[in-house]
Chains A and B, each alone.
Chain A
């Protein structure tokens, strides 16, 4: 016998237990049908396993646990399932719940079942699973799944097992009778629990109003291997509350919000212990329980062992209900039970008592009066709460405050309502407040969840948009890259033949080279135009354009060079190694060209338009070239026929060799310059160009060697015999450079005038151009030609384009000032200054316009002199360019190498040639 502690508060209501203890536990009525709710416990509802019409045996599993915190349901009778559906159950709400209805065939046919021969051979997990399979739930009232409680040993150290035998609520004697009659089963059940939880101490807490039960338990516990104490506690409501009983027996208070296992204690009801024993020893699932039938309206109140699911009415019949006296049918005890209006409701695993009360016994509660703050409720509260304060909070819907006053520690025992002099239904207020708080919390949880999902969705959508954008960008970049690659390829195509031509030049595709050179030139011009445009407008991107111009310039130079070299292989290649075949090819090419030129001329003459004069000039040129080539071929052939090569080299040949060397040197210089620019611009072609330069250098060396070889025997050839033609070429180079410099200078001036941000860049560009000009001049001087004059000052003749721009700028400015004047006049301000400005601008504009007109007129006149309509020419050139682009596109579209592609390629070639021709003509006038 241990020391008994005390808990705060508590009440002493009339016991009313003796009415139902007169008879031993009687077998319950045999129900016609049983109704088994799938939820008779705390936790998730069980999941039905049977269908309507199915025959089930007694003890057969008909619904399996619907989760970890759930309990299996077994058929309590043998028979046929007649319904699985919503039926009314014993619940304070009076609502329907899912039930399985079985019609009893009264055969009482058990499903095969057997207990465990030696439960000690099983470990506690397997044993708990076995008990779970038998559908055992707490029999004290709450119906907590027993197996879950038996698993607490997994996470807690359990040193004390408390068996709740207090049965403190008035009227109820089910546990009392059970202990009196089946104390051995209680002790056996405790043995099973002890095997699983291994507590060091077992305490059976029992109120001192059950002396027979105490005696029976003490006898049964005698000689038990477990350390079992039957602790008698004073009768006080609610000592049967789990936490109250623990306080009574151990003096330990279970923390708020915690479970007894937190302090090393597990609490089980005696009824549960018996159920565990029967499950383990006999394999019987929980299909019946002891129910106290009591109340003044019953003639024979007693306890009976009832099949779960039996309707109340059968029990009431067996207890001889005096129907006319029944005022209230209460399920559970008078303190915590609830009233039901239907006697067809079923007994569940947690129904421990039915009170058929008369009016006198349980009168209707009087209307509640106002709280007088007497404080009696506080005195009675076993949990040491402030009931009246909680009542006020609940009434005023101040749920937060109620929660802060530990409302959720309330066990709803009803002690406060019992003592309340104003008869306020306090517990109902607490239940209401608890439900509201729970609902609010559930809503908050749901809102948080919805918020999370919403945010996730928004994030996902944003990510999708970003991804799309990234993909789009990637595509654009890829397109740009592809274009660049295409350009590079084109460039390489232009450069490669140049290199090969430099190296050996046996199979130079002159046409391709020419096209490449022309295309590059055209592009260069286009970009230059764009650059100028951009500079005018002071747009951004001038920098890039400038770079592009530089790169293109180098490319154009390279292409042109390659073309030139290819055209003139005899000059490039060392003279002694003249290839007969090559010569033949050259002659053939020249002939083809001649024919083409003739054709073009004829066409132009036919249509009566185009640059006939130019074409004619070209034709003559071609003729000359063809003749030259033919002559060279003939000479070589005849030389081969007569292999006796004259050792004496003529002065002319020597001069030629010298020219070769010089030309090679000039080329090297040029290429070097181009390379420098390219490196400065970080052009990707720089490396290629470097190789080209090296090759050129080698070639120049070769040429020098050849010259030296030739010159050593012929001492006479000392004069730097540079041909007039080459000199002219250099001169043209210098002139072109000068023009470029002046053009750039003009553009720069315009930019500075407009305060364009690109001015600085352009200054650099001009300096570069100037440097190149100097180089060219040097080359010319080296070649022996006299530079006509140091072309430092810009040409007196302004560029036509620049003039045009200036005119338009002036016009714009003039218009602006005019507008300003108008505005000023309207607002009545002094306009004299503005008018003066306007006049000045007008003057300047007129001057510029006059200059431009004069220039243009001169140009047109010049063109007309040559029989060219400048305007028409321009239009033609533009159209030809468009045709080239079109042809290129068409060619790009066709992927299969068939006739069509070839045709297209030919068309493209033709279009390119035409465009080039027109362009070259046009460029002469601009």
Chain B
């Protein structure tokens, strides 16, 4: 009887001790906010375009963390969807966009400066302050800051903003993926059998 009593006491003491430790730990090591949101936000392209229906990338990241679907980011393309699926360990899905391209063409805004009337509407629309100008002065886009989010095109009253694809220059040019050669035979590749080889 005494033994049983002792065992119960010991267990109670242990339970109390661990409870205290856990309680302290939950306060001491409390995590502010959802760390998952940061990770999701890191995968999003940060164009802040709002095409997902949220006001910016972080709100969408929060929504995804709350259980929203992951295929609402056209600027990120299929790559982002896949990356999100990998992060969240869920089935990847097709990008939810009309002209869904796996590799979206990156473009940036250009203001046809002759036509700009200096209304500052695009400046207010730009989420990253990439448009320079003042009232009644010509505006221009700081190309290095433009994320190509499209948000400035709609407010322009004279439609002088174009979204032009970013040109490939020698510095931005990159090698393509080599074609898997196994699908070809030598003659196909050469086009014609060379005299010397014949």
- Chain B residues contacting A424 (CB-CB under 8 Å) are 181
**Which partner residue on chain B sits nearest A369 by CB separation?**
B182
Cβ of A439 within 8 Å of any chain B Cβ, yes or no, is yes
User: Chain B 160-198 against A: per-residue CB contact (8 Å), 1 yes, 0 no?
Assistant: 000000001110011111101111111001100011110
Contact B178 A457 (CB under 8 A): no
For the A-B complex, the count of residue pairs with Cβ-Cβ distances under 8 Å equals 100
A450 interface neighbour in B48, B181, B183, B190, Cβ under 8 Å = B48
Contact A432 B177 (CB under 8 A): yes
Cβ of B129 within 8 Å of any chain A Cβ, yes or no, is yes
B173 interface neighbour in A93, A366, A395, Cβ under 8 Å = A93
B189 interface neighbour in A89, A367, A370, Cβ under 8 Å = A367
- Chain B residues contacting A428 (CB-CB under 8 Å) are 175, 178
- Chain B residues contacting A436 (CB-CB under 8 Å) are 174
Chain B, interface SS category:
loop
Contact B175 A366 (CB under 8 A): no
Known: A428-B178, A429-B178. A367 touches B185 (CB 8 A): yes
Contact A453 B194 (CB under 8 A): no
User: Chain A 333-359 against B: per-residue CB contact (8 Å), 1 yes, 0 no?
Assistant: 000000000000000000000000011
B181 interface neighbour in A368, A446, A449, Cβ under 8 Å = A368
Contact A359 B173 (CB under 8 A): no
- Chain B residues contacting A395 (CB-CB under 8 Å) are 177, 180
Contact A364 B189 (CB under 8 A): yes
Known: A359-B194, A364-B190, A450-B147. A457 touches B128 (CB 8 A): yes
Contact A447 B46 (CB under 8 A): yes
- Chain B residues contacting A425 (CB-CB under 8 Å) are 178, 181
- Chain B residues contacting A457 (CB-CB under 8 Å) are 127-129
Contact A454 B48 (CB under 8 A): yes
Contact A95 B46 (CB under 8 A): no
Cβ of A247 within 8 Å of any chain B Cβ, yes or no, is no
User: Chain A 730-758 against B: per-residue CB contact (8 Å), 1 yes, 0 no?
Assistant: 00000000000000000000000000000
Q: How far is the CA of A450 from the CA of B130 in the complex (A)?
A: 9
Q: How far is the CA of A435 from the CA of B173 in the complex (A)?
A: 8
- Chain A residues contacting B168 (CB-CB under 8 Å) are 95
Most buried by A among B47, B183, B185: B47
User: Chain A 82-118 against B: per-residue CB contact (8 Å), 1 yes, 0 no?
Assistant: 0000000101110101000000000000000000000
Q: How far is the CA of A367 from the CA of B174 in the complex (A)?
A: 22
Known: A432-B175, A436-B174, A447-B45. A370 touches B196 (CB 8 A): no
Q: How far is the CA of A432 from the CA of B175 in the complex (A)?
A: 5
Most buried by B among A423, A432, A448: A432
Contact B170 A369 (CB under 8 A): no
Shortest CB-to-CB span from B196 to chain A, Å, is 4
Shortest CB-to-CB span from A457 to chain B, Å, is 5
Shortest CB-to-CB span from B52 to chain A, Å, is 14
Q: How far is the CA of A456 from the CA of B56 in the complex (A)?
A: 13
Shortest CB-to-CB span from B116 to chain A, Å, is 21
Cβ of A363 within 8 Å of any chain B Cβ, yes or no, is yes
Cβ of A475 within 8 Å of any chain B Cβ, yes or no, is no
Known: A91-B170, A359-B196, A368-B182. A454 touches B177 (CB 8 A): no
Cβ of B154 within 8 Å of any chain A Cβ, yes or no, is no
Q: How far is the CA of A446 from the CA of B100 in the complex (A)?
A: 22
Contact B182 A367 (CB under 8 A): yes
Shortest CB-to-CB span from B165 to chain A, Å, is 15
- Chain B residues contacting A789 (CB-CB under 8 Å) are none
Of the four ranges (under 10, 10 to 19, 20 to 34, 35 or more), the interface on chain B belongs to 35 or more
Shortest CB-to-CB span from A514 to chain B, Å, is 58
User: Chain B 39-67 against A: per-residue CB contact (8 Å), 1 yes, 0 no?
Assistant: 00100111110000000111000000000
Q: How far is the CA of A454 from the CA of B180 in the complex (A)?
A: 42
Most buried by B among A39, A425, A439, A447: A447
Contact B181 A423 (CB under 8 A): yes
Cβ of A462 within 8 Å of any chain B Cβ, yes or no, is no
Q: How far is the CA of A494 from the CA of B143 in the complex (A)?
A: 70
User: Chain A 172-208 against B: per-residue CB contact (8 Å), 1 yes, 0 no?
Assistant: 0000000000000000000000000000000000000
Most buried by B among A394, A434, A454: A454
- Chain B residues contacting A449 (CB-CB under 8 Å) are 145
**Which partner residue on chain A sits nearest B183 by CB separation?**
A367
**Which partner residue on chain B sits nearest A89 by CB separation?**
B170
Cβ of A360 within 8 Å of any chain B Cβ, yes or no, is yes
Cβ of A327 within 8 Å of any chain B Cβ, yes or no, is yes
Shortest CB-to-CB span from A448 to chain B, Å, is 7
Shortest CB-to-CB span from A365 to chain B, Å, is 8
- Chain A residues contacting B128 (CB-CB under 8 Å) are 450, 453-454, 457
Cβ of A525 within 8 Å of any chain B Cβ, yes or no, is no
Shortest CB-to-CB span from A463 to chain B, Å, is 14
Contact A432 B170 (CB under 8 A): no
Cβ of A488 within 8 Å of any chain B Cβ, yes or no, is no
Contact A446 B147 (CB under 8 A): yes
User: Chain B 119-136 against A: per-residue CB contact (8 Å), 1 yes, 0 no?
Assistant: 000000001111000000
- Chain B residues contacting A366 (CB-CB under 8 Å) are 181, 186
Q: How far is the CA of A256 from the CA of B190 in the complex (A)?
A: 40
User: Chain A 361-396 against B: per-residue CB contact (8 Å), 1 yes, 0 no?
Assistant: 001101111100000000000000000000000110
Q: How far is the CA of A453 from the CA of B45 in the complex (A)?
A: 14
- Chain A residues contacting B41 (CB-CB under 8 Å) are 451
Contacts A/B (CB < 8 Å), 17 sampled? A91-B173, A93-B170, A358-B196, A363-B197, A364-B186, A367-B184, A368-B182, A369-B181, A423-B181, A432-B174, A448-B46, A450-B145, A451-B41, A451-B46, A454-B57, A454-B128, A456-B129
Chain B residues at the A interface, C-beta cutoff of 8 Å: 41, 44-48, 56-58, 127-130, 145, 147, 168-170, 173-178, 180-186, 189-190, 194-197
Further contacts, 20 of them, CB under 8 A, given A450-B48, A450-B145: A95-B168, A95-B169, A97-B169, A97-B170, A327-B194, A358-B196, A360-B196, A366-B186, A367-B184, A367-B185, A368-B182, A395-B177, A423-B181, A431-B175, A432-B176, A435-B175, A447-B44, A451-B41, A451-B48, A454-B128
| Shortest beta-carbon contacts, A-B, top 10 | A368-B181, A435-B174, A447-B46, A367-B181, A359-B196, A431-B175, A453-B128, A93-B173, A428-B178, A451-B46
